[in-house]
Amino acid sequence: MNLNPAHKRISEEDYLQGELLAEIKHEYINGEVHAMAGASENHNLLSVNMASELRNQLKGTPCRTFMADMKVKVGLDFFYPDVMVVCQKDNENEYYKNSPVIIVEILSKSTRRFDQTDKRLRCQKIPSLEEYVLIEQDKGEIQVFSKNKQWQSFYYYLGDEITFSSLGATVLVEDIYYQVNNEDVLEFLREKSA
């Protein structure tokens, strides 16, 4: 996300209407609109892999898995999580959700600090949110913040499995990194095939 805002504040209604027509996505923070940058191949693979793993495990439940184009409303702000899961009846708006159980962000150099700090702290105020997940794209490392552990974080690496207690779903870290090209993944695959 580019943190250079527009020069003037706009209303929530103007932001939501503008997003329907915009060629690029924008996040809405403190009344200011912020353009979002494009994502890398690894970023896209991680998002698809995570969403696919969760979606497959949640079939037959009321939970729905969303990717990059669905906004989440956090207080007066709007963000585009890379992946989120909503398990309860949400608002009637088809372009954003209010009640995610899990939010997943894929870290990049341009978004790392914001995703790890300000965005995370804002999202942790969502009453329904149980887990906030940060996935590194340049190494095999996943950080999970858990509400039932007072938002303490836990780290997972290639060879580990992650149980998302809010969903009753367990995912192998290597499945999240399927086809991702970074040094940690390549080394893990070399060791696994030896």
**pLDDT given at position 112:** 85
**pLDDT given at position 2:** 40
Q: Which helix (H) or strand (E) holds 133?
A: strand 131-136
What domains lie within the chain, and their CATH numbers?
A: 40-193 (3.90.1570.10)
**pLDDT given at position 108:** 87
Strand partners, 97: 72
Q: How far apart are CA 87 and CA 62, in angstroms?
A: 6
Q: How far apart are CA 90 and CA 163, in angstroms?
A: 24
Indicate the burial class of 62 (C-beta count within 10 angstroms; 0-12, 13-18, 19 or more).
exposed
Which pLDDT tens digits describe the chain residue by residue (194 residues)? 344 444 578 999 999 999 999 988 999 999 999 888 778 899 999 999 999 999 999 999 999 999 988 999 999 999 999 999 999 887 678 899 999 999 999 998 878 888 888 999 999 999 999 999 999 999 999 999 999 999 999 999 999 999 999 999 999 999 999 999 999 999 999 998 98
> pTM score, two decimals?
0.91
| 3-state DSSP percent of the chain in helix, strand and coil, to 5 | 30, 30, 40
